[in-house]
Structure 1
């Protein structure tokens, strides 16, 4: 395979997570021809998790990681910062888990990834503001939302998973607003500052791997027993390559016409006194998955609220500044409805972040060519699913046999999409319908 003219990532808007995460180590750019035992392309949750797992499995091998941008500037620093153990499927239109057997398997896999991340947090001394195992709340603002929450709690009880149902008064005490009618708290989720987590993980690995940023892969070619990646000022040859580039796996010639490229949008307020808006920290997912996700974060006596709403289908994997600005204006109204006492607090950051989905909720995973492995398509749970895919890709590529890997490899490939423009019309219509139905939850 010779793949040239690889499409490069384009980000729109400055993520508040990245803006608030200090950089503690220098940026290195690839500026020479090099050889390695392993090449990992992409330094997000998938790529860095793969690198750490390889260090555990092959401590003597040389590992090179290339990223087209600065770490945490891309998708890894643009999500809502939830590591969720209890599954939900964005393509299904609700949060209710499926059959008990498949749900329990997904929970075990998600918790394996969370345990891996907890090991990272412990090893590198991450503070609670970066890695907080406090759980999350599914918040309901409508009668329909309450009904969805009851179904969610019932499905959890059926598989023996704990949860706590919260009434309107409890929600007001937690959030400082009377907007919500109820909630369901699940204890297994971890709240992270995603950009800070990624940068601290990269810093911890810095002495064990070679990480090169601002080093986009322009071509990837098989040359006999090795792969050669060519970047702007250098290149890397390695017998084994792991692609941890999420939706950009299509740009490398694999899983084309099988992946749905969706963007979600977020805004973060300027800092305000921590005693406003309820408890010091809280995290809300919407009862309706097309509703608004909110988090209150606090550090050094100052708080901010992050609001994430709206989805758009962007098959070219880019959005305009105009799109971000338009949705940011709607997020402002959504925020003001929830927190009228904070209307004077400006939004300091607004940004877009890419998601990669498949219609059958399957990852783009496995050995796609000899020595070339994919750990992509996180299906809306990027922090957990990408961590897991990176771990599993490292194990598969290193020839490690485990029950977890065998189960992960049993998943089917992503289903093929209808041709354009049928795919665009269908996906756009589904997103639009679900966002309209979300109503006050959004």
Structure 2
């Protein structure tokens, strides 16, 4: 057996506020000794746990083992903004305007299938509105350019028959309690989730049906005959079929090299405060994709606001504490400009979270070796795209034919990147230009 050594493991920087507020409802177990299973899933985020749930639906008698290098929700799954978005949302395009009607309608259909799958999970496991809230989202504009981008977005939605609602400055003030915004476009199909709590509740719900081992990084993965073996720190798992749901770290397993863009985004969450800042809960995306994403969450008479800004290109898939602190200071200024009455409210948590993109906006998906499947590269919308990829990987690996799977498989592979340092210079320059152009939207 020729096993591939996985030398690069996930490294997280800063404490995610979402994870800090999400209680664990089950004890953590690490892999010990030798195990055998029908299925091995590597990664317990949106992709991996969605694949596990879909496998339970398709093969209820099979034994499924899930390995995660960290504890559930400490990684990327608990570090995003918590938007499950149905309409097109291409971070690399410079705007959210819908492209061709056929491709846009297909993407919306796929996104809504993933959201419906997640809604079934939320209903079955009794998730409250603070964890899973089908409230829609608002694209908020703080500049004239932002208003133009919103008009283009609303017009492109109308052209494919999708509803939206245009909000003026007064309506935005009523919702957010801030004079910062000139207008907004509300789309009704998005779901707001507390991502870490959603993932932990899903993991708890799967307990007893799936064997989940945390703090069990895969150190090597190889195939002998018809069986794969994953070796961890204190144990191993043998299974004939493996699903990699590790997002950008699929490169660490030797696949899709020089085809994935590793980007980090950054967030800060305030300490709890009573009242203020408009409605009880709201969710704002920036009219310009490189602007600031904000969410207000409330529970028990106390509120918090999360602000997400800035992107950096990090091909080594890690960032420093210094980088997080530097951007947290920028987020503080961005927050204070929007909510001057809350300047005395401290930021309690600041963190970085990894994104994986491809230049042609497609996933790293499919059977990449016999019995080895990839459900990776979410292109900046991990909650939905990873859920979808996990579902589709389970269907592909079980030979379950569906029109949804056939459509999903028609996508090309991620395009190859230019060599370094050309890629770094190009990607860094594009990010920097877009962030400068975003201006007050950031």
Who is 2:417 aligned against?
Answer: 417
Who is 1:355 aligned against?
Answer: 355
Who is 2:197 aligned against?
Answer: 196
Cα deviation, 1:104-160, whole Å, max 9, x if unaligned, reads 000000000000000000000000000000000000000000000000000000000
Cα deviation, 1:283-336, whole Å, max 9, x if unaligned, reads 000000000000000011100000000000000000000000000000000000
2:329 pairs with 1:332: no
Q: In structure 2, what is the Cα distance between the partners aligned to 1:89 and 1:74?
A: 23
Who is 2:276 aligned against?
Answer: 276
Q: In structure 2, what is the Cα distance between the partners aligned to 1:160 and 1:150?
A: 15
Who is 1:321 aligned against?
Answer: 321
Who is 1:369 aligned against?
Answer: 369
Superposed displacement of residue 403, structure 1 = 0.2
What's the TM-score, normalizing by structure 1?
Answer: 0.99
Alignment of 1:106-255 (within 5 A): 106-255=107-256
Who is 2:70 aligned against?
Answer: 69
Contact 2:6 2:253 in 1 (8 A): no
Who is 1:3 aligned against?
Answer: 4
2:48 pairs with 1:39: no
In structure 2, the residue corresponding to 1:406 is in which secondary structure? Answer: helix
In structure 1, the residue corresponding to 2:86 is in which secondary structure? Answer: coil
Who is 1:390 aligned against?
Answer: 390
2:403 pairs with 1:403: yes
Q: In structure 2, what is the Cα distance between the partners aligned to 1:25 and 1:34?
A: 21
Q: In structure 2, what is the Cα distance between the partners aligned to 1:365 and 1:118?
A: 24
Superposed displacement of residue 44, structure 1 = 0.1
Q: In structure 1, what is the Cα distance between the partners aligned to 2:296 and 2:420?
A: 40
Structure 2: any 5+ residue segments left out of the alignment? none
In structure 1, the residue corresponding to 2:13 is in which secondary structure? Answer: coil
Q: In structure 2, what is the Cα distance between the partners aligned to 1:228 and 1:324?
A: 37
Superposed displacement of residue 49, structure 1 = 0.1
Q: In structure 2, what is the Cα distance between the partners aligned to 1:160 and 1:255?
A: 36
Contact 2:6 2:218 in 1 (8 A): no
Contact 1:17 1:196 in 2 (8 A): yes
Superposed displacement of residue 426, structure 1 = 0.0
In structure 1, the residue corresponding to 2:267 is in which secondary structure? Answer: strand
In structure 2, the residue corresponding to 1:85 is in which secondary structure? Answer: coil
Alignment of 1:274-313 (within 5 A): 275-313=275-313
In structure 1, the residue corresponding to 2:62 is in which secondary structure? Answer: coil
What's the TM-score, normalizing by structure 2?
Answer: 0.99
Structure 1: any 5+ residue segments left out of the alignment? none
Q: In structure 2, what is the Cα distance between the partners aligned to 1:3 and 1:9?
A: 17
Superposed displacement of residue 176, structure 1 = 0.1
Length, aligned pairs only: 441
Contact 1:130 1:196 in 2 (8 A): yes
Runs of 4+, deviation exceeding 2 Å: none
Contact 1:272 1:304 in 2 (8 A): yes
Contact 1:6 1:217 in 2 (8 A): no
Superposed displacement of residue 400, structure 1 = 0.2
Superposed displacement of residue 236, structure 1 = 0.1
Contact 1:281 1:298 in 2 (8 A): yes
Contact 2:291 2:309 in 1 (8 A): yes
Superposed displacement of residue 5, structure 1 = 3.4
Superposed displacement of residue 91, structure 1 = 1.1
Q: In structure 2, what is the Cα distance between the partners aligned to 1:70 and 1:223?
A: 29
Superposed displacement of residue 88, structure 1 = 1.5
Q: In structure 2, what is the Cα distance between the partners aligned to 1:32 and 1:298?
A: 44
Cα deviation, 1:19-51, whole Å, max 9, x if unaligned, reads 000011000000110000000000000000000
2:100 pairs with 1:99: yes
Superposed displacement of residue 89, structure 1 = 0.8
In structure 2, the residue corresponding to 1:251 is in which secondary structure? Answer: coil
Q: In structure 2, what is the Cα distance between the partners aligned to 1:361 and 1:97?
A: 14
Q: In structure 2, what is the Cα distance between the partners aligned to 1:312 and 1:320?
A: 12
In structure 1, the residue corresponding to 2:250 is in which secondary structure? Answer: helix
Who is 1:54 aligned against?
Answer: 55
Q: In structure 1, what is the Cα distance between the partners aligned to 2:132 and 2:191?
A: 7
Q: In structure 2, what is the Cα distance between the partners aligned to 1:299 and 1:110?
A: 28
Cα deviation, 1:55-104, whole Å, max 9, x if unaligned, reads 00000000000000000000000000000000111111111011000000
Q: In structure 2, what is the Cα distance between the partners aligned to 1:105 and 1:247?
A: 24
